[in-house]
Structure 1
Amino acid sequence: MPSPALKSSSICRRREARRMTERRSRSAPEGDEFVRIGGEAVPTPLDSAKAAVWLADLGRSADEAGCERLARLCRRPDDPAARRLGAIMDLSSYLNGILLRRPDWLERLFDTDAADRIAAILASLDTLHAGDMTEARLMTALREAKLEAALLIALCDLFGAASPDQTTADLSDLAEATVRAALRFLLLDADRRGALKLPDHAQPEDGTGLFVLGMGKLGGRELNYSSDIDLVVLFEPDAAAVVDRDEAVETFSRIVRRLIRLLSERTGDGYVFRTDLRLRPDPGAMPLAVPVPTALVYYEDSGRNWERLAMLKARPVAGDMAAAEAFVREMAPFVWRKYLDFNSIDEVRSMKRRIDRHHGFDCVGIAGHDLKLGPGGIREIEFFAQAQQLIAGGRSPELRVRRTDEALRLLAEGGWILPETAARLTEAYWFLRRAEHAVQMVADEQTHSLPEDAAGLARIAGLLAFPDADAFGNELLERLGFAEAQFDQLFAGGEAAEDEGQRLFRMIEAGDLGGLSAALEALGFARAEPSARVLAGWGAGRYRATRSPAARRHLADVLGPLLRSLAAASDPDGSLVAFDAFIAGLPAGLQFFSLLASNPRVLDLLTLIVTSAPRLAATISQRPHVFDAFLDPTFFRELPKRSLLEDRLRFFMNDVVDYEDELVRLRLFASDQRFLVGARLLSGAIEGEEAGLAFADVADVAIARAFEAVVRSFAARHGAVPGGRIALFGMGRLGSRELTAGSDVDLILFYDHPQNEDESDGEKPLPASVYHARLTQRLIAALGSPMGEGVLYEVDFRLRPSGNKGPLATHIDAFLRYQADEGRTWERMALTRSRFLAGDAGFGEKVSAAIRRIIAERNHDPAISAEVAAMRALIGREKPARGPLDLKLRLGGLIDLEFLAQWSVLTGAVPADLIGHPTAEILAASNVVSRDCVEAMRRQTRVLQLLRLGPEKAFAVDALPEPLARRLAASLGLDGAAAIEPAVEAMAAEVRREFERRLPNGG
């Protein structure tokens, strides 16, 4: 954590860069009568004559203070700098008073750039606690610093020398520096009195455990000109500086009480910042300084959604920064949930409605309009950004930013909103913030409302350099209207559907079967009366998902669009029955229905899944949060790369407790990711060949992590074999990266170790062969043992040498001997789909090279073709196809294509470097197999992948749910479901002819 001194120097460097840019963009000063503020904005006075009088008054004040250059400037009312100063004095009584009281602050600006002076003031605050500073002197110094900085920040803003974001950052830096200075003084004072024992008097906050979080706009470095500052003060009871833990709450609360007085009390020098501590946990019951453990328990047990929203902007601003950063990290799961609670978005909507009701807001306007809370105002833009941060921040850590403009930019970069929307909202936000500052600069009042009278509006327009109030009003209305429209689109889009849903749900709860039947018939349900009885069961609380009042309220919100979505199916009544079965399986309904109520666009996909894909529907019923991912704008555009999956897994596992917890989370992660691949496939976002690669990527990442966990856990008890190496290989569809939604995984574990090392070195040593066999058993259990979250993957190790008769783990030397002496053609066929997954990469390459040699050495074996053909014939006899769509087993199906590819590798028609590649790639590289087989493999893969999402044992079109049959036809480019079986038949016949041409003995 950088020291405050370093932070100050960083501020100075930033200001220097900005100052140099400004100097290049403005005219050079004319002699010594030039105020070095910069900017090109020219405020418009209400009364030019009065402005000239005020300028003359400033000149007299300057004469009295010995400010000769300022006095000369004021005697030249036509000078551009003088005119701007006169306009400010006419428009703002607050700034007028400061200028007349302290003309020496302007005099400095003939020698010093305003931005440099602001930086110098901030830097000076970091040394106020030193020396023989008394409390009274500190209060005066803080108020003087605040007043001068506030004057300069205002002039830079009004003259256009600082952008609105720089203005808010300067104000935030000023508030942070004053809090830091006051707190340091108080900590040193507590040390002198014996209440604390500071580890480091040079950095008094370090080791105290006490820290201050800036909340709201201070936390986001977006502070208003006349804003109070929202603070939360917490402390670690076990910190080194705490003398008496039992007295820590009182000791630190006393410090906070004095801190508030130092900053907020009005004296003859004014005040520094009004402070507000009401955002701390349970402010009515908690002390001013809250122990961290108490706060964490509160947020975990009782934290509300508005507190999540507040903590989104929480930023350490003073005190023990190490303790502060640790607390912010611990709070991350509360703010940024892995799985979005969509009820929180409902809460954001409700918060805005409560604001509107409380203030009586109903439309956009100008006179008296509340720039912060009114329609189209600052709060709506903030809520627009923050709500979507809450939606996406759990999955996309890059969105965890505090500033509104940064959030809008990142949301656009992530595809959550259009770049044009982000740009226009950002521009509107800063326009409104400048207007808000102008309102507050008039009299240093904490107000956000525009004046209601014409003169007052003209005053604000003048401060913002508009020629008149009408020009300002036109610009304002355009921005308010756009912001309101965007907010309504995000938050209020479902209100009409709510009314319809409430009406239908009242019928359900009242048991009005006649009214329900009529409504369903109007929607297009053919069997309206039986369907009405299904809906009546939802109102009767028959299912767990519809029992709680909150769940039923959200179900009512979504009922209208849900029924319309079901009505769009070819069999609405059958779809409703399927959805009813899905609802019956939900453990609870609140989160699921609130998600749908907030995002009606996902309903069509949900009904498609529920009515067509039992495997996917089962995942939703167990964990409805998986639907969150559908809100990611990139979801339907692209598959996550393996590197992104690895990043997501690391993030998902970053607070794993123990080995069992790791296995539980791996099951959840893999299940969720498989679901998302399947949903993309079902929706048409990807096709079967892409799905196979994606399912394999999920398996690769999950199995590699499980393997690491198993090795680590096993070694904790049994150690490792010195010099030993292990490599885990995927075989079958995993090896060739062609997994489906329901595939098990074929694996082989290879190992090697020095001949003189035959035992592990742990607390419970094992012989090397036993060690690796038991390690493999542990891996099988880690992957395949049923837990509450199911299995990770069903595992098959039968492709190892000697199959079930051989040892579970395979020593590389034994493997080589076996292949040289006993290896059979079918085993070498299996090796053509082998691929290194995890373990020692160097050893994995050694095994891969050995496999390539084993296959290459027998390229010219004359028995290969006959044995491959015979094996296919045996499978055909023992496992005949179960229907026209059983593409795995039917003649001309996937086995024929896979055997042609493996035969091509075994005979050298394909380079051995393609071992472990997808079948279609191998067929494309073969110099003997027809090109038609490549297309057949692609199309058959599409059929297989989609069928694996549907009901088990559905091997004919008439056994498929109608929506799935439509999706399958679309995937094959066919006009309808009736064309599927003829197309498959023709395709299989062509493949079979090619197979028999190349392997004629396989009939």
Structure 2
Amino acid sequence: MSDRAQSSLTNLARIGFSRLDAAAGQLDELSELVGVDREVLLADAASAADPDEALAGLLRIALRRSEVVSTVLQDPHGRRVAWRLLGASCGFADFYLRRPDQLARLIEAGRRLPSTAELRRVMHSAVGADADGFAASGDDSAWIGLRVEYRAQLAEIASYDLMSADPVAVVHEVSAALADAAGAVLDASLAIARTKALGKGGFGGFPREEIAQTRLAILGMGKCGARELNYVSDVDVIFVGEAAPGSELAESRAIEIATRLAIQTMRGIDGIEAEPPLWEVDPNLRPEGKQGALVRTLESHLAYYDRWAKSWEFQALLKARPIAGDIALGEAYVAATQPLVWSSSGREDFVDSAQKMRERVMEHIPAADVPHQVKLGPGGIRDIEFAVQLLQLVHGRTDEAIRVPATLRAIPALDDGGYIGRAEAKVFDRDYRVLRLIEHRLQLVGLSRTHLMPRTEDGLRVLARATGLAESASGMTAVWEDIKREVREIHVRLFYRPLLGAVARLPQDEGSLTEDQARDRLAAIGFREPAVALRHIAAITSGLSRKAVIQRTLMPVMLRMFADGADPDYGLVVFRRISERLGETPWFLRMLRDSSGAAERLTRLLSTSRYAGELMEWIPESVAWLDSDEQMRPRSAAALEEEARAIRTRHENLEDAMRAVRALRRREMLRAAMGAVLGATTVEQVADALTTITDVTLRATLRAVQRAVVPDEDVSLDFSIVGMGRYGGSELGFGSDADVLFIYRPENVEPHRAEQHAGRIVAELRRVSEDFRLPLELDADLRPEGRKGPIVRSLDAYAEYYRRWSGSWEAQALLRARGVAGSHKLLEAFMRLADDVRYSPSPDAQAVREIKRIKARVENERVTSRMDPTRHLKLGPGGLSDVEWLVQLLQLQHAHEIPALRTTSTLGGLDAAVEAELITEEDAELLRAAWILASRLRSANTLLTGQTSDLLPTDRRRLEGIGRILEYPPHSATQVEQDWLGTARRARKVFDRLFYG
């Protein structure tokens, strides 16, 4: 190497390049492409956090559009911005590679931050929003354009941030601009949603005047509400809707429209399009979380907060701010909820619950991540935020000066009020800014949501250069460790201050002795929040009415019954809600008083199953079923089908028909849940019931959608749905998705029109089957080519694909294919096609090896290091997957010669394998026991918590609750755990021997 070349490489190393030979070549190539001298290009390279990435990004873009890159790099300011931005973010390099024309905007970027008004104006202009809040187009292309403009504005903000001489000092400004940009993009997305809600040709839409009369406010929560947002973060929101004052629009209609607008607004931002999603819009801070209505009126919100909200929900409301939509309605929401926020610390055990919440957050961090967690770990961002918010909520009851949402504004306010020492305030202020700067730089790298410090020396070196906090990787580590220590020490001192509990405690309204005795008694029998329980009891039993007299008679007995359940506190809460919903209904309390088992069943159900309890709140009349074993048994398929077909004759409108279908499904799912929890049905009966309910729901939905979507001249189009996976095998559990395939056949319809109709049918099926109260996920991932393949195909296309391309896994997937809805002739034709694939002659040795390899890969990839595989009921050793894959392998190998193996049922296939002497009865019994127990545990976990999980919990209370549902005796948490681990271990030995051996 010549001295000159060596000198050049030395200069590159001094500037900060690490891949010296590659950089030298890339510089020469870039210089030639853009017509800028090599030395000029390098003049600003030292300011880049990662010069190698910046250079590689510029070259990639120049290879696509050299003239745009040339224009930027020939401008001194543009060149400086380009090095800093692309050196800090390969994510922006990817953006400019997709959208090279946007790069030219860097010439003017970084000089100042866009204002709130400018951001809103730019986003509205990007979608052509008019004065009434409607966009020029409701097509997906409008959202793509909005995403592009948002990222261009994000680059403006990032450029200002990166060009700042003191990035720590501008953290608050930058965070506020990011929050304003998020609000602006939500407002513009809402404008597109309004236009999209008009529908095409009047189909599926709402009249313009009704949309205009619908008020929808979007409240920013968390960091967005506080104007302290990150570069890439979930944006927490709450939706409030109502009819405009003076309009004739019914409240129910306004909420229906507002819900459609909210859904579309979110999808426009985080749905899959040509331009990647921006961030997730998270509405789960709303009342009742994921189970609650997406949009409520202001009155409904207030009723919930007045009666049911937990302490953490008031803490979340501290940061609520209207950011999009109807700002006046949003401001009314904030004005109405703020008094609740500042009185919330007087709730029983408020301080203790806040402290436990912080501890729970830390307990859920994977152990390997704790030392690297910038946000959630000890000494991280959350330590500062939790301490500041707790001080605000406790002392803010009487001091309005500290009622501010932003953490960086609250710290000096607490300092001024004397609630925090000046030295502590100074450290908190500085360290919070530094932590947020670190978080920002980490997220800029890939424009991705992350809160973990780099674990490599190169990563730490780049972070040090990006933040300006240190000059080396070791220096960056030292800064990080110092901040963690300082923050944690102050957090512990403030957050666990003994005085907080005393300040928060309200004077007692009743005689202390009586109340203490009552609380002690409730605590002794199992209530975890006896003071809260007392308030519910008082609400239920107070007054002189006949209802109150009966409740006072029943309550002592029912409290003991509640205490026998896994969660007596929850059972009591739901009982109160149901009592209030049923009002003065005479049969309710009379049944509880006089029926031999209704009260016991109700208390057991409500204190054992959140899944059932949440549904019962919305279907309170279901309490009547508890008086009769017959009414808790699943209804027959014929009866449900008759009711579903009647819906078609009663409701011409698609939306009305679907409301009726959803009501039918919720009601029958609740009936199945009741039977499962109260031991009235077996696991096989539950699977049959859930499958029947899903079949009937899909058939009714498909009939309604086809009637709405397919024009009269094309009604000969055949369309069908095939059940796959556990659904196809009639083996559904509570919380299971419905795996499906979609098929069509033109039948005298022009092929292109048939394809379009089929696509619209699928889109409408997925839209109208959505149920936020009881989700029904139509999962088509088992289709040919998986997620990459067309979501709907013609019968001929399926035949061609299976003839030419299908592999062993697709034949395996078809083993559980079952026609469930649509054209019978088309289903028969498809099942004949499926039979030829799944029951073909025995696969060759290579195909068998491939099946075994896929099984092993699924276990390794989907059971992550954070999971205990022995507790994974589906994919863990001895779980559902083991039994199902073994049976399916036997079917693939022998079903061609043994017709009895041609079944979609796992247990049916296992029985046939025993009959054919492919497996011994002893081995089959071990596999059968594991499969049944895993299915029962999985469903019981969903029934207990209302949430779906494949993991056997480690929490003893949850294990105890699962044991109650499975009819174990009290205090059987350990037995439940041991039964599963032992059963699974024995089944895995059989599986390993038969499947891999």
Give TM class, smaller chain: 0.3 to 0.5
The structure in which a higher percent of residues are helix is 2
TM-score when normalising by structure 1: 0.43
Higher radius of gyration, 1 or 2? 1
